[in-house]
Each structure stands twice: as structure tokens, then as C-alpha cells.
Chain A
Amino acid sequence: MWNSFPYDEWSETVTDFWTFGPANSTGTYILTVLGCILMVASLIGWVWLEKQKLDRQAAALRAAGAFDQPTAAGPRTTSAGD
């Protein structure tokens, strides 16, 4: 039975812990730390992922000799994988 799940017994405690209420609670400190971790991790992730992407594309373009000769349609008409 769904109501055998002891939710009612500790739901208020969970709510007190994770929602804001009066502030300066253990839950808000934990959430702040988790948010800071996400913030830092996302910044590192942006740097790392973009570096991979750009290095790969630049290497492909060099290998393809994409800029060895001028083209009539501008410096770039095909993608590196073409």
C-alpha cells in the first residue's frame, strides 16, 4: 500500500531541511555548497569541452589543407569533415 510508505512521519522534517524557511539552517548551507560545486564544475567543463572541440576542428582543417589555396567563395566553403 502506498500509504504504508512512512512519508507523513518525516515529510515535515524533510521540508524543514531543504526549503528556505528561516534561513541559516543546515539544509541551506548544504544547498549553497552544492550550488557552488555546480558553478565551479560548469566553468571547468566549459573550458575543457571547448578546448577539445576547437583543437579537434583545427587539426581537421589543417589535415584537410583547407587554407592552402584561396577559394573563390571565401576562406571557408566546406566543413572540416567534408
Chain B
Amino acid sequence: MLSSLFSLLAQETPTIEDLKAQIDLDSLVLLEVYYFYTVVVMWLIHVGFMAYETGVSRRKNLMSTAMKNILTIAVVTPTFYYFGWYIYGCFEEGWPKSGHASPDAFPGFCGLTAPWSSGLGPNMESNLTGHLSLVFFLAFLLFSWTTGSIMSGAVIERIRLSAYLLLTVTLGSVVWIMDAAWGWSSGGWLTTRYGFHDSIASLVVHGVAGAFAFGVLLNLGPRIGKYDVLGRARSFRPHNTHLTLMGLMLIFTGFYGFYAACLFIQSTIFPGWLNIYLSPTTLGAIAMVITIGFAGGFTGGWFASKGDPFWTLSGGLAGVISVSAGADVYHPSLAYLLATSGGMLAVWSGGYIEKRLRVDDAVSAVAVHGVCGFYGVFLVGIFAGGYPTGINNIPVSFGGQLMGMMAFLPLAFLPGYILSWILKRFNLLRVPPEVELEGLDLAEFGQDFYPEFERVPEIIVTPDGQEVDSADILLDAYRATNGKPTTRVEA
């Protein structure tokens, strides 16, 4: 004991420079570990999306639904690595300039986003201090998966797996990350010129994914039997609502990681917690807003849907999305009120999209993510107008928020619509009607995934709310699809 004490005293007293270097190092390590664990928590979002969508699907389509979520990781990860991250690093001004387009705060960030650069590898030459870029990349990669997962639920039960994969690459590795470069970075042109403020990605992730999905749905068309000849909507019964609700709860859990990953702290460079624009906020502020956002969203969803369990849970998601854009600055009570309105808006807009527009969105992703994502950014223009954003302290304005919405709507919608239109022209978008009727699992995988359980007649809910055997309705719709005479037009 004494000998060790003497040996300590005998050591040379560290200088101020030594201590500063140690603090700098500890700060960097803390930040890297912080991002690493946000990535771990965000995996739950994808577990949740898989459970959620699989539960919504009919029994005959459950594995083809789950496989989309799994293979999202298989295709978005390499594409985001090879070109998606480069788009984020180098397209902040709209198009790469000569040199680096990145803000002065991160000189050379563009150069660190190429797949052969030191920023995207182990970088053993500076393994103590030069390693942050890769965990930062991973956090963004998880956001990319999320955009794909948002679309995947909308298109289930009739899209080809391969078509979905091509679309999700476009959305996850090009479209969303382009909008993030423009409006979700400290050097993006929407941020530096217009003070665009979307701190926890209401629009840049959710709204954009919803708009992209809407473009795809217009070309994909509804599931066979979804609408009768009068255009009235029928409903398909989810094969496992419990699984769907558990999936949503997992998504909610993962959202805490998502929120945390949208922040930045590096105590030796910046004074404290910062949002993605490098403006001050706190971890407590965003954690409080997300929590009370769920509370408001559940409440709004429950009342607007008159207690429907699917819409109550989806209302929670919609509520959080509605307040995410201003989560770094909102008072919790404001977030509660706005999230309640967001939960209600999702229910009403979901009904409008399904019944009036006659767009078959199987999980109401366009309403929950798309409509509420745009709504969230709109709200910031009203309730946080004048708040300084970004390293240039440009005030948030209603016009700036509208500018972002006008930029992102075509950026998201057009690629989804055009690519799905091309796939449709080559007959690569939708599965053959016979396969859709039989169920995608037997065609894709050659098996039923509840082998011990007898198949019972499939149920469909008619527009007047009756539950009936779907066989005649689906066959009639199938014959109509194939140009054969229709013998029955209503359930």
C-alpha cells in the first residue's frame, strides 16, 4: 500500500497540457460510445417495424412481409456506405463545390465520407482520436433503414420483394440523405440561408419517406379486393394484432435512441448538448418531448378513432412525429397539445387517403409519417418562429419552413413515383394476381409459416362493417382484374 503510494508520488506531476490531452481524449471516447449505443437502441425500431408489419399482414403473406424488413438492411447498408454517406458529406450546398462543401466547423468532412477514406475504416493510424466518423455514419445508416421501413409497411401484400429493394435503396441511400444534406446539417443550404429547423427529423426522415411511399402507392395500386366496384373501401383483418401492437411499442422504445442520435455533445469543443444544426438544447428536453408526445398522440388517436387499438398506437407515433421538428425547443405542455392534434390528424388523414383518394396504404404510413412529418415542420414555423438556428443563428421563420417543405415534397415524391412507374412498365413492380391471391409466402418460400395450424377461411370487412368470408370477393375482384366478367360486386 505504502510502496504504491510512494511510487505514485514519485511520478512526474502531469502538466496542464497532459491533462488537457487526457480530457480531450475522454471526451472523444465518450462521444463515440454514446453514438454506438444509440445505434444499438435504434435496432429496436427495425425489430418493431418487422413485427408491426408482419402482424398487419394476412397469414399468407407474413414471411414475405418480414423479409422486406430484413433485406432492407442487406441493401441499404452497402449502398449507403458506397454513396449515401458521400451525398450527406458533400451535397450540403446542393451540389459539391470544388474542395469541400462542408461547414467551416467540420473542414474536410466531405473528404471523410468516401468509402476508401480514413473516415470509413478502422483507421489504425489514429485509433484514439480519428474514429468518430464511423459511428456517426452508423447512426445515419440506421436512419436510412428507418426510411425504408416506413415505406415497406405501406406496400405489403402485393409488391415484389425485388422492386421494394430497388425502391428502398433509392429512398434510403439517395433521397432522404440528400434532403438531410440540404436541411438536416449545420452547413445545408436550407439551414444556412433560411434557418430551416427540423431538429429530430419530422420531415427529413418521416415526411420524406411518407411522400416517397405515396408516389409508389399510386403506381402499385390497391390489394385485390380492397375496393368494391363503387370504390368503397373494405378492410383486411390483420393476422396478429398483438404482434402489431408489440411492434409499435418496440418502435417507440427505439425512438429514444433515434432522438438521442440526433444530438451532439463534445465537451472540449462545444459548451454542451447541441442539435443537428449545432444549436443548443438538452438531452432532457428531447426525452421529455418524446415522452409527452406519445402521451398526447395516444390520446388524440384514441379519441379521433373512437378507441380503435391500431389507431391509438399509431396516434402515439403520429404525435411524436408531429413534435419532433421542434423537440429541442418546445415546452412539454406545448408538445402535449401539438402531439394530441397530430394523433388526431393521422386518423383523419388516414381515413381520407383510404376512402376518398382510394390509395391502399396497408399501415397508413403516408398519414402517420408523411402528413404528420410535414405537419411537424409547419408547426415549428408557427410556434418557434424567430428561434436562432445553426451556426449562423438564422431565425426560424414560417417562410423558411415552407421553403423546406416545398423543396422536399418533389425531392421525395418524384423519385418514388418515377421509379415505381418504370418498374411497372417492365412488369417488375407487382406480383402476378394469382400469386397475390394465393399468398406471397407460398410463391416466394414454398411453405406456410404456421404449419401446425389449420388454415381457416380468410375474413374481410365490408364497407358497412360486416365480417364475411373473403373467398368470393377476392375471386370476383381477381376476375375483374384479368378482364373476366364480374358476377358479384358487393360483399
Q: Is the CB of B471 within 8 A of A39?
A: no
Q: Is the CB of B455 within 8 A of A74?
A: yes
Identify which of A51, A55, A75, A77 contacts B470 (C-beta below 8 A).
Answer: A75
Most chain B beta-carbon contacts within 10 A, residue among A42, A53, A54, A55: A54
Q: Is the CB of A22 within 8 A of B438?
A: no
Closest-CB distance, A6 to chain B (whole angstroms): 26
Interface size band for A: 35 or more
Identify which of A29, A50, A76, A79 contacts B437 (C-beta below 8 A).
Answer: A76
Is there a chain A Cβ closer than 8 Å to B474's Cβ? yes
Is there a chain A Cβ closer than 8 Å to B373's Cβ? no
Given contacts A50-B160, A77-B455, contact A23 B431 (CB under 8 A): no
Closest-CB distance, A17 to chain B (whole angstroms): 13
Kindly list chain A residues whose C-beta atoms are within 8 Å of the C-beta of B442.
57, 76, 79-80
The distance in angstroms between the C-alpha atoms of A51 and B435, with both chains bound, is 12
Q: Is the CB of B116 within 8 A of A76?
A: no
Q: Is the CB of A67 within 8 A of B434?
A: yes
Q: Is the CB of A57 within 8 A of B166?
A: no
The distance in angstroms between the C-alpha atoms of A32 and B120, with both chains bound, is 11
Identify which of A43, A47, A70 contacts B475 (C-beta below 8 A).
Answer: A70
The distance in angstroms between the C-alpha atoms of A19 and B127, with both chains bound, is 14
B437: nearest chain-A partner, CB-CB: A75
B120: nearest chain-A partner, CB-CB: A23
Given contacts A24-B116, A54-B443, contact A74 B161 (CB under 8 A): no
Residues of A43-71 at the interface with B, using a CB-CB cut-off of 8 Å, are 43, 46-47, 49-51, 53-55, 57-58, 61-62, 66-67, 70-71
Given contacts A22-B118, A67-B475, A72-B457, contact A46 B124 (CB under 8 A): no
Kindly list chain B residues whose C-beta atoms are within 8 Å of the C-beta of A57.
432, 434-435, 438, 442-443
Q: How many A-B residue pairs have CB under 8 A?
A: 123
Identify which of B116, B163, B165, B471 contacts A32 (C-beta below 8 A).
Answer: B116
Is there a chain A Cβ closer than 8 Å to B189's Cβ? no
Among the stretches B75-83, B148-156, B341-349, the one at the interface with A is: B75-83
Q: Is the CB of B432 within 8 A of A75?
A: no
Is there a chain A Cβ closer than 8 Å to B458's Cβ? yes
Q: Is the CB of A43 within 8 A of B82?
A: no
Kindly list chain A residues whose C-beta atoms are within 8 Å of the C-beta of B475.
67, 70, 75
Residues of A9-35 at the interface with B, using a CB-CB cut-off of 8 Å, are 19-24, 28-29, 32, 35
Q: Is the CB of A50 within 8 A of B455?
A: no
Closest-CB distance, A29 to chain B (whole angstroms): 6
Is there a chain B Cβ closer than 8 Å to A1's Cβ? no
Interface size band for B: 35 or more
Identify which of A22, A55, A67, A71 contacts B125 (C-beta below 8 A).
Answer: A22
B430: nearest chain-A partner, CB-CB: A54
Identify which of B121, B446, B456 contacts A23 (C-beta below 8 A).
Answer: B121
Given contacts A23-B117, A43-B169, contact A50 B434 (CB under 8 A): no
The distance in angstroms between the C-alpha atoms of A53 and B438, with both chains bound, is 14
B71: nearest chain-A partner, CB-CB: A46
Closest-CB distance, B420 to chain A (whole angstroms): 14
Closest-CB distance, B288 to chain A (whole angstroms): 41
Kindly list chain B residues whose C-beta atoms are within 8 Å of the C-beta of A58.
432-435, 443
Kindly list chain B residues whose C-beta atoms are within 8 Å of the C-beta of A66.
434, 438
Given contacts A32-B115, A73-B455, contact A55 B75 (CB under 8 A): no
The distance in angstroms between the C-alpha atoms of A19 and B124, with both chains bound, is 10
The distance in angstroms between the C-alpha atoms of A49 and B431, with both chains bound, is 13
Closest-CB distance, B172 to chain A (whole angstroms): 13
Given contacts A54-B432, A57-B435, contact A35 B82 (CB under 8 A): yes
Residues of B165-219 at the interface with A, using a CB-CB cut-off of 8 Å, are 165-166, 169
Kindly list chain B residues whose C-beta atoms are within 8 Å of the C-beta of A54.
160, 431-432, 435, 443-444
* Contact pattern, B 96-116, Cβ under 8 Å of A = 1, otherwise 0: 000000000000000000011
**17 residue pairs from A and B, CB less than 8 Å apart:** A24-B117, A32-B115, A32-B116, A47-B428, A49-B162, A51-B160, A58-B432, A61-B438, A66-B434, A67-B434, A67-B437, A70-B472, A73-B457, A75-B471, A75-B478, A77-B455, A79-B446
Residues of B within 8 A of A (CB): 60, 71, 74-75, 78-79, 81-82, 115-118, 121-125, 160-163, 165-166, 169, 428, 431-435, 437-439, 442-444, 446, 455-458, 469-472, 474-475, 478
Beyond known contacts A28-B121, A35-B82: 8 more, CB 8 A cutoff: A20-B121, A23-B117, A55-B432, A57-B442, A70-B471, A72-B471, A73-B456, A79-B442
Closest 3 CB pairs of A and B: A58-B432, A20-B121, A23-B118
